[in-house]
Amino acid sequence: MSTEPKIRIPEQVKKGEIFPVKAMIKHSMQNGRRLDKETGEIIPRLIINKFICKYNGREAFAVDLHTSMSANPYFSFFLKGAQSGKITFEWVDDNGESISASRNINVQ
């Protein structure tokens, strides 16, 4: 699907603090309507259709994607620092392949 996703979250936040989360993955997001320049054939649809973010195992943010999404999908949202732990990210494409990544956060 892609290379390692790019993720930005603070390493440490105060309890109750709202903090930004930014996540991006490189993916061409083929919509099934483009033609291959060499063969003239339609390039089959292959998009990331789901993005899920979990905070200590609980779903905190999720989105279903469709063909109008641009290449290299980028998400920016906010979470509230509840407790120290792991924030996990998962991208799933039309073939069922997924890429996941995680980052630890320290809440004081």
Judge whether 45 lies within some domain.
yes
Rg of the chain over all Cα atoms, to the nearest angstrom: 16
Q: Could you give the C-alpha distances from 85 to 55, 70, 76, 103, in angstroms and in order? A: 7, 31, 20, 9
Q: For residue range 40-55, what is the model confidence (pLDDT) as tens digits? A: 999 999 999 999 999 9
User: Across all residues in the chain, what is the average pLDDT?
Assistant: 93
pLDDT score, position 69: 80
Q: Does residue 53 lie in a domain region?
A: yes
Structural domain contains residue 26: yes
Cβ atoms 108, 11 nearer than 8 A: no
Read off the CATH number of the domain in which 71 is found.
2.60.40.10
Q: Which domain holds residue 56?
A: 6-107
Task: State how far the Cα of 11 lies from the Cα of 38, in Å rounded to an integer.
Answer: 47
Q: What is the pLDDT of residues 57-89, one digit of tens each?
A: 999 999 999 888 889 999 999 999 999 999 999
- Number of domains forming the structure of the chain: 1
Task: Determine which helix (DSSP H) or strand (DSSP E) holds 61, and give its type and residue range.
Answer: strand 58-64
Helix, strand, or coil (residue 70): coil
pTM of the model: 0.89
